[in-house]
Structure 1
Amino acid sequence: MSTTKSIAGQRPAPAAESSGENLLEVTGLEKHFPIRQGIVFQRQVGAVRAVDGLDFAVRAGESLGLVGESGCGKSTTGRLVTRLLEPTAGKVVFDGEDITHKPVVKMREARQNLQMIFQDPYSSLNPRHTVGTIVETPMRLNGINPPQGHKRRAQELLEIVGLNPEHYNRYPNEFSGGQRQRIGVARALALKPKLIVADEPVSALDVSIQAQVVNLLQDLQREMGIAFLFIAHDLAVVRHFSERVAVMYLGKIVEVGDRTAIYERPRHPYTHALLSSVPEVVPGSENRERIRLAGDVPSPINPPSGCRFRTRCWKAQDKCATEEPPLVRLEGNGDGHLTACHFPEEPTIASRGEDIVLDPALAALEEARRQSDTGV
């Protein structure tokens, strides 16, 4: 039976309580893409600093949302964590093992517990393979032989994600975008992972399908105790799905904390601006004052000195240009709420994060979450 729940149905309790132990630990993670000139004799003349020193952790069974504007380094971070990209510097420890420089041929064992759901459900599936082959391949490559056989296990996975087991022999071009993303989820579940990196898994889908896929991922997290690094730019979806949220800007994390703190008591001006810019569908929201950031996002080839947000920040002072603010807990913040700002917002400032809903389908999801949180 499918685990998919009605969009307006009661949201399940948060996934398996996180054990408090870090399943994933990232320290000083960097990825610089070199810029070269020359045809025969090339030389490096610069670098795109896509990810430039990240520190964060994901506990077993929890969901951490990673948000920020397009081009801030979110997807690159996901590929570094899964070792689809080689880091320039830093350290990635997964399940107690340092996998930062683990040889590719030896990463297969680690990837049994570390899977990824890709953003584009159209290009992430091989059009020449049947759905059954796509879902079975991870098991065959890792030498996993289910008691019921590969075919039956693949059909079970298709059923788990809300597809008909009879779809086993069909090809990806016979499915809609939402159905293809479900196939990608089934493939990620084939090895029973401990952590799934979901790289904007619903951004390419219609909003009604987004709600279904988000509900599906929540159900799977609750039932299987899977941890998620949930990468997205949709703040409403992130607030609904993630227990903690990390905010990225130009390759760095500028604020991280539990979702209530981030959405209701943001301390970093960039977080406050992000929340202020979200369209709302609540009465009176059209009269709400919004923060409009000046200028464009600086180039990651030559980022600003000191605080990278200072060129667009209305609170910037001379200190911001000379000293990079550390990511630390500020006075008035709860444990685990960290902010990187020399002149943070007051903790009493509300962002009206409770009102962030972009569509009736997601509004129903948000209402279900509120009822679950309050015990109604």
Structure 2
Amino acid sequence: MAHEATIPAPRDKAPRPGEVLLSAEGLTKHFPIMGGFPFKRRIGAVQAVDGIDLTLHAGESFGLVGESGCGKSTTGRLLTRLLEPSGGRLVYRGQDITRAGRRQLAPIRPEIQMIFQDPYSSLNPRQTVGTIVGGPMAINNINPKGGREHRIRELLEIVGLNPEHYNRFPHEFSGGQRQRIGVARALALDPKLIVADEPVSALDVSIQAQVVNLLQDLQRELDISFLFIAHDLAIVRHFSHRVAVMYLGKIVEVGDRDSIYQWPRHPYTHALLSAVPETTLFHASADGDDAPPGPGRIRLAGDVPSPISPPSGCRFRTRCWKAQDKCATEEPPLVRVDGSRDGHLTACHFPEDPTTERESEIILDPALQELEGGHAGPDVTAGQETP
């Protein structure tokens, strides 16, 4: 049996605002692919997360965006230690928890909670709401002042549910109400950090805003740090202080909200922003000034490459209109490029100009040009500009 490092109990006092709460250095998760007979030989690996660096501060909301299959959810489960990392380092409040075992993680578990994507499958249909929300307290043998039932009813009221719903079952609630039950369960142990894995993607659009506003109110009132994982850029902008953009297991750009949305530097970030209607995304900025106009349309050709055999060098190069030979041989580091704000990091050898304005649309797939009945500006195919 491998020796497990001793992890001291976390400090009782709350973290100071701005203090580094959780950091990941070179965090990696590869899922083995077994083959042969009788399926005991490893023939490859799915590189779901491949060496990412993240830093979460106390009291902040951090957004993680990207296409489906880029590794966002796997990253969330690694940060909560629901998955064992294949490599890298994970530090929580100064304590290395990368290889900590179940016993060593016990005092830290209550401080890091998770809200799952599907409000239907994440709740036990055979348990009442009271049992579901009180489960974390029972597991950790916590008896709050006034008793568990009093605390559970209080949590239900905090998330906007009737305390009298204590004895009801999940099937008696709508999707939005079930997600509120999941939020109440995550709050049961007074966590310092909540990882919300696409908490509104399975809900009706009319309900999404209510749940996001609830999470935002909780983050502000209880001073909880959030890692908000989503593919909806408009929601992430509304909720997050800082944003990281992920592509095929890598972080390609990270910065504060205004910097990412108004002055993106990575071509992939430009493509993501161009896919969102301007009326949805480019609303008035936080300081009241009008945000700049959105980028022209950028439609990427093909699908995301397989994480089993990702491209060499820059992983986005096979779909990038700025790709050159260097992009195939050298992996770009995540660094601050000229013209970027402090803390705005980009992994690109040939970053975009610090503006989202474009004079015309870019179509990367030649087949789309015929559907458009011609082209409305410079068409870019195979990474080279067509004269």
TM-score (norm 1): 0.86
* Equivalent pair of 1:264/1:350 in contact (CA under 8 Å): no
Residue 303 (structure 1) aligns with:
310
Q: Secondary structure at the match of 1:143?
A: coil
Q: Against the structure 1 CA distance between its residues 104 and 350, is the aligned structure 2 distance closer, same or farther, given a 3 Å change threshold? A: farther
Residue 74 (structure 1) aligns with:
72
Matched to 1:177, the amino acid is G
Residue 334 (structure 2) aligns with:
327
Residue 278 (structure 1) aligns with:
276
Task: Find the partner of 1:243 among 223, 241, 244.
Answer: 241
Q: How many Å separate the matches in 2 of 1:94 and 1:350? A: 40
Residue 35 (structure 1) aligns with:
33
1:290 aligns with 2:288: no
Instruction: Spell out, residue by residue over 1:252-294, the C-alpha distance to the aligned partner (whole angstroms, 9 max, x if none).
Output: 00000001000000000000000001134479xxx97300111
How many angstroms does 1:351 deviate by?
A: 7.9
Q: Against the structure 1 CA distance between its residues 230 and 41, is the aligned structure 2 distance closer, same or farther, given a 3 Å change threshold? A: closer
Task: Find the partner of 1:255 among 253, 267, 272.
Answer: 253
Q: How does 1:192-211 map to 2 (within 5 A)?
A: 192-211=190-209
* Equivalent pair of 1:28/1:55 in contact (CA under 8 Å): yes
State the percentage of identical aligned residues. 75
* Equivalent pair of 1:266/1:350 in contact (CA under 8 Å): no
Query: Hey, which of these two has a bigger chunk of helix by percent?
Result: 1
Q: Secondary structure at the match of 2:255?
A: strand
Q: Against the structure 1 CA distance between its residues 250 and 113, is the aligned structure 2 distance closer, same or farther, given a 3 Å change threshold? A: same
Q: Against the structure 1 CA distance between its residues 61 and 351, is the aligned structure 2 distance closer, same or farther, given a 3 Å change threshold? A: farther
How many angstroms does 1:296 deviate by?
A: 1.3
Matched to 1:225, the amino acid is D
Instruction: Spell out, residue by residue over 1:333-367, the C-alpha distance to the aligned partner (whole angstroms, 9 max, x if none).
Output: 11100000000001133489xxxxxxxxxxxxxxx
* Equivalent pair of 1:30/1:54 in contact (CA under 8 Å): yes
Residue 385 (structure 2) aligns with:
none
Matched to 1:160, the amino acid is I
Residue 91 (structure 2) aligns with:
93
Segment of structure 1 superposing worse, 141-150 or 261-270: 141-150
Q: Secondary structure at the match of 1:109?
A: coil
Unaligned runs of 5+ in 2: 1-13, 283-293, 360-387
Instruction: Spell out, residue by residue over 1:107-139, the C-alpha distance to the aligned partner (whole angstroms, 9 max, x if none).
Output: 221111000000000000011110000011101
Unaligned runs of 5+ in 1: 1-15, 353-376
Instruction: Spell out, residue by residue over 1:205-225, the C-alpha distance to the aligned partner (whole angstroms, 9 max, x if none).
Output: 011211000110011111110
Residue 343 (structure 2) aligns with:
336
Instruction: Spell out, residue by residue over 1:32-82, the C-alpha distance to the aligned partner (whole angstroms, 9 max, x if none).
Output: 000011342610010000000000101000011000000000000000011
Task: Find the partner of 1:264 among 256, 262, 266.
Answer: 262
Q: Against the structure 1 CA distance between its residues 226 and 289, is the aligned structure 2 distance closer, same or farther, given a 3 Å change threshold? A: same
* Equivalent pair of 1:33/1:47 in contact (CA under 8 Å): yes
How many angstroms does 1:105 deviate by?
A: 3.0
* Equivalent pair of 2:295/2:358 in contact (CA under 8 Å): no
Greater relative contact order (CA < 8 Å, ≥ 6 in sequence): 1
- Pick the structure with greater CA Rg: 2
Q: How many Å separate the matches in 1 of 2:190 and 2:241? A: 22
Q: How many Å separate the matches in 1 of 2:181 and 2:358? A: 37
Q: How many Å separate the matches in 2 of 1:88 and 1:128? A: 35
Q: How many Å separate the matches in 2 of 1:243 and 1:223? A: 16
Q: Secondary structure at the match of 2:106?
A: helix
Q: How many Å separate the matches in 2 of 1:190 and 1:288? A: 43
Q: Against the structure 1 CA distance between its residues 17 and 137, is the aligned structure 2 distance closer, same or farther, given a 3 Å change threshold? A: closer
* Equivalent pair of 1:172/1:180 in contact (CA under 8 Å): yes
Matched to 1:91, the amino acid is R
* Equivalent pair of 2:273/2:295 in contact (CA under 8 Å): no
Q: How does 1:162-241 map to 2 (within 5 A)?
A: 162-241=160-239
Q: How many Å separate the matches in 1 of 2:81 and 2:133? A: 21
Root-mean-square deviation (CA), in Å? 1.9
Instruction: Spell out, residue by residue over 1:161-207, the C-alpha distance to the aligned partner (whole angstroms, 9 max, x if none).
Output: 00000000000010000000000000000000000000000000011
